Amino acid sequence: MSFRVATYNVHRSVGTDGRTEPARIVGVVEELQADVLALQEVSFHPDKPKHLLERLRDATSMHVFEGVTLRDERGHYGNALLSRLPVREVRRLDLSVPGREPRGAIDAELDAGVPVQVIATHLGLRPFERRRQVRRLLGAVESSEAPLKVLLGDLNEWFLWGRPIRWLQQVFGDTPAPPTFPAKRAMLPLDRLWVAPPSSIVRSYAHDTPLARVASDHLPLVGEIRL
């Protein structure tokens, strides 16, 4: 069995042209044809009909789980996890660091014939934040008994030699990291996908299409996983 995972920072649905167009995000997600999808910087107002997550649920018929990290006058903001696979359990992890923007992760156990742990996250902008957050995430990975584990999201890690990347490599191995940012001319691999065991990932690539280059400031990162 094989399935497709993806991670996508949707930038509050604000495109590289400065326009807020949730319909373009829905279009990119439909292009991906992912079975499991992690989203970051999801902005929506729960009281307004046809907000982004409702549109995605209607367009894809996937299970949708919110990972709200911030609530303000504009509504809800944070992460989301979408899955076509049956969902056994979902947990929200608080990765917030005092004095910094609230951060979190969605830790789900899915059923792909075998249990699959999927953690979707968006890490902080400062190196000391990311070090603390990666240690928490690795604790969640180590506590899971699932034979297949996937960690994906916007790691905001600009330094490929930094300690968070080295710690992740010790657990997941050296995973390819295609550049995904900025969308118009991607040069930096801010969005990452890690799989254990690493032999389960067949390939990973940035989803670079005309619509993806304008819908958000990040390109989606896609991985093909084989059990």
94 contacts 104 by C-beta, under 8 angstroms = yes
Confidence grade of residue 20 (pLDDT, cut at 50, 70, 90)? very high
Counting the structural domains of the chain, the total is 1
Question: Taking 90 as the threshold, does the pLDDT of residue 201 lie above it?
Answer: yes
CATH code, 99: 3.60.10.10
The tens digit of pLDDT for each residue in 138-186 reads 999 999 999 999 999 999 998 777 899 999 999 999 888 999 999 999 9
Q: Please give the pLDDT value at position 128.
A: 95
Adjacent-strand bridge partners of 174: none
Adjacent-strand bridge partners of 104: 94
What CA dihedral angle connects 123, 124, 125 and 131, to 10 degrees?
-90
Q: Which residues contact 114 (CB under 8 A, 6 or more apart)?
A: 146, 147, 148, 227
Do strands 36-44 and 75-83 pair parallel, antiparallel, or not at all (unpaired)?
antiparallel
Taken in order 21, 25, 31, 33, is the CA torsion positive or negative? negative
Q: Is 143 exposed, middle or buried (0-12, 13-18, 19+ CB in 10 A)?
A: exposed
Task: Tell me the two tokens of residue 82.
Answer: 């979408």
8: containing domain: 2-226
Q: What pTM did the predictor assign?
A: 0.97
